[in-house]
Amino acid sequence: MIRLLLRESRWILLASLLTGLGSGLGGAGLVAVINQALEPGAPEGLVWVFVGLAVWLWAARTASAFFLVRLGQNVVFGLRLKLSRQVLAAPFARLQALGPSRILACLTQDITNLAEAFRWLPLICVNAAMIVGCLAYLGWLSGPLAAMVGAALALGIASFRLAEARAWRGLKLARECDDALYGHFHSLAHGIKELKLHRHRREAFLGERLAETAARYRHHYLTGTGLSIVAGNWGNSLFYVVIGLVLFVLPDYQAVGSEVLRGYCLTILYLMSPVGGLIESLPVFGQAGVALKKLEILEQTPEEPDNPAPLSSRLFPKPALLELVGVTHRYYRGEDERSFTLGPINLKLQPGELVFLVGGNGSGKTTLSLLLVGLYTPEQGEIRLGGRRVTDANRESYRQQFSTVFSDFHLFDSLLGFQGRELDAEARAYLTQLRLDHKVRIESGAFSTLELSQGQRKRLALLVAYLENRPFYIFDEWAADQDPPFKNIFYTEILPTLKARGKTVIVITHDDSYFHVADRCLKLEEGQLFEMPTAEWKQTRAPETDTGHDWGKTYAEISL
């Protein structure tokens, strides 16, 4: 963590450490002054030294705390952005393997634990400086007495180190439970309907899952922090042993004189507060250490090369032929489970082609679409666009050729990443066409609401895809949530219009009554891709539906 701090801003750190040290030494000086004031015949001007030291202590403590809190927040801010960037730069398959719960736990819990440690950091510095100052004063009072206190401190530290490994293990196990807890909270938030409607399921979820994991967390956390507290307090109590020894057991030390003994006892009692503060902070730092280790999972995730080329200098020609040559993708799972392999896939998609992709559940349609858009990297074979091979160096640019609405799409509350003065007007025209104008308004690129039905949300996602205006479109079962009139509009107006604009459109669908709309129908069976014979799908007829709509005309009017 210190390395992290140093990297962020070594000058603020240095300033805060110096002021922390100053405040600690000021505290020790204050004890010396108090001790002197208690002696008969204390010098007259001592009161001004006392006032000066008190003011200095206040100023140094405030400055040190201010510097370190600021530094801590800088680090937390930097870490939040850095880790979010790292998540965005990690390969999609790796993020899928990590799972959302682990990523969320890192981005929230671990950063919070680090922030908590930074909150404690100023106190640690002040306390450490105070301990050093008090020890120096003790040394000045009596060398042998200071050696005894030093020995008690060393014994305390050694016993803490003995317990530390087990304490660390407890905190680490507690942190592992965090990942599972986030998974349960995710189920709680997203499965609320299913849990409310089924009493036994709800009780099993609460009792067997959530409570069990939360109890495991509590057990490991208490083991971790409990050991730190016991070992730390044992170290602190050693000071009483030292005071008792000197006052009642070792007569030689009584020979040093009552003033020295009083100063000695006073300083030790004063010393116990900073030592106690240090002990209290140890579990917090233990947790921060565990958090840093966990964050390494994200930090060590390989990054995809970022291609900063502006969109105007696209690497791929338009319109372009998209080719998949011997492309495969495999999901690796546990030894005992059957793994799924897609491909080898050989496929050519011409510009302006409208292609339907069909197949049973689990046949590999979504996997193929993830390969097509460049979110998965082919394990074997290659993808070519306009004759140019897609590689790590140009994959980022390649992905910018696709507009998608996946079945698990996400809607942002505004048109992020879009520019242009006509944006609102264009978006509003589409809202009207998508029959959403009575539900959603768009102001400065922001949607007034996302509280919509699933079918309406999908229409909004379609609107975003339209505005993107890219050469390739992929819709994953888009029409599944649409009412019959709008399903008809989608297949008979929206898709042909996109085709007419020269877009290559891939539609994953089970709507066999609309297959005739397509130029080609591809079928996936257990990861193998076939071209369906035209006779099998060209005869299909759409159900009679009056839409009262002319999408093609509107689309042309809005003119992307």
Q: What is the spatial distance between Cα 6 and Cα 287, in angstroms, rounded to a whole number?
A: 20
Q: Which two tokens stand for residue 430?
A: 């589409």
Check residue 366 for interaction with ligand ATP (CB under 6 A).
Answer: yes
Check residue 96 for interaction with ligand ATP (CB under 6 A).
Answer: yes
Three state DSSP letters for 403-459:
EEECCCCCCCCECCCCCCCCHHHHHHHHHHHCCCCCCCCEECCEECCCCCCHHHHHH
Q: What are phi and psi of 403, to 5 degrees?
A: -115, 135
Check residue 92 for interaction with ligand ATP (CB under 6 A).
Answer: no
Check residue 102 for interaction with ligand ATP (CB under 6 A).
Answer: no
Report the residue from 109, 113, 236, 363 that binds ligand ATP according to the rule CB under 6 A: 363
Check residue 329 for interaction with ligand ATP (CB under 6 A).
Answer: no
Q: Which two tokens stand for residue 244?
A: 């008792």
Check residue 404 for interaction with ligand ATP (CB under 6 A).
Answer: no
Stretch that binds ligand ATP, among 235-243, 282-290, 363-371, 479-487 (CB under 6 A): 363-371
Report the residue from 300, 361, 419, 559 that binds ligand ATP according to the rule CB under 6 A: 361
Residue 16 CB partners (closer than 8 Å, separation 6+):
63, 64, 66, 67, 68, 71, 122, 125
Q: Toward ligand ATP, which CB reaches closer, 24 or 364?
A: 364
Q: Which two tokens stand for residue 368?
A: 């193929």
Describe the strand order of the beta sheet including 402-405 as a list of residue ranges: 402-405, 472-476, 504-508, 354-359, 520-525, 528-531
Q: Judged by CB under 6 A, how many residues of this single chain contact ligand ATP?
A: 12
Q: Toward ligand ATP, which CB reaches closer, 337 or 544?
A: 337
Q: What is the spatial distance between Cα 480 and Cα 482, in angstroms, rounded to a whole number?
A: 6
Report the residue from 127, 142, 228, 367 that binds ligand ATP according to the rule CB under 6 A: 367
Check residue 343 for interaction with ligand ATP (CB under 6 A).
Answer: no
Q: Toward ligand ATP, which CB reaches closer, 293 or 510?
A: 510
Check residue 331 for interaction with ligand ATP (CB under 6 A).
Answer: yes
Stretch that binds ligand ATP, among 55-63, 74-82, 103-111, 355-363 (CB under 6 A): 355-363
Residue 381 CB partners (closer than 8 Å, separation 6+):
324, 325, 326, 327, 328, 343, 344, 345
Q: Toward ligand ATP, which CB reaches closer, 330 or 399?
A: 330
Q: What is the spatial distance between Cα 124 and Cα 89, in angstroms, rounded to a whole number?
A: 36
Check residue 340 for interaction with ligand ATP (CB under 6 A).
Answer: yes
Pair 401, 472: CB distance under 8 Å? yes
Q: Toward ligand ATP, which CB reaches closer, 93 or 321?
A: 93
Query: What sign does the dihedral 152-154-159-164 (CA atoms) show?
Result: positive
Stretch that binds ligand ATP, among 44-52, 116-124, 357-365, 379-387 (CB under 6 A): 357-365
Report the residue from 359, 374, 378, 471 that binds ligand ATP according to the rule CB under 6 A: 359
Interface residue list for ligand ATP (CB under 6 A)? 96, 331, 333, 340, 359, 361-367
